[in-house]
Structure 1
Amino acid sequence: MALVGFLAVAAFYLIAEHRAHLLGWLPLLIFLACPLLHVFMHGRHGGHGNQSIQPSSGWRQPPHEH
């Protein structure tokens, strides 16, 4: 518990003293997160393009159920 408290206080002071430096990097970090979000979010629905066209491998999507 003491270590967690110490780390919380240290994090508070680091953020408080270096806020200008951290906020200066924020736009760049958001821009760099775009490729990661693109990769992980497109993995759910199969990527770009028309979804009605089936891949040539013969794979078929299961029917949608409610």
Structure 2
Amino acid sequence: MVDITSRVARAVEDSQIGDGTVTVYVPHTTAGVTVNENADPDVVRDILSALEHAVPWRQSF
């Protein structure tokens, strides 16, 4: 997982737009975007654990 918060914040600041919404788009079939609070570091671990359980990394298809 890659935290892009600072990159998005910088892009918003550089745009000089005061109000609005931000859309993050990932044009790849094996990528995704999650939005979650960053207050608890266990959140990332829990997400990765659930994904590993649902779709094992070393699974051969």
TM-score using structure 2 length: 0.30
Q: Which has the larger radius of gyration?
A: 1
- The structure with the largest helix share of the pair is 1
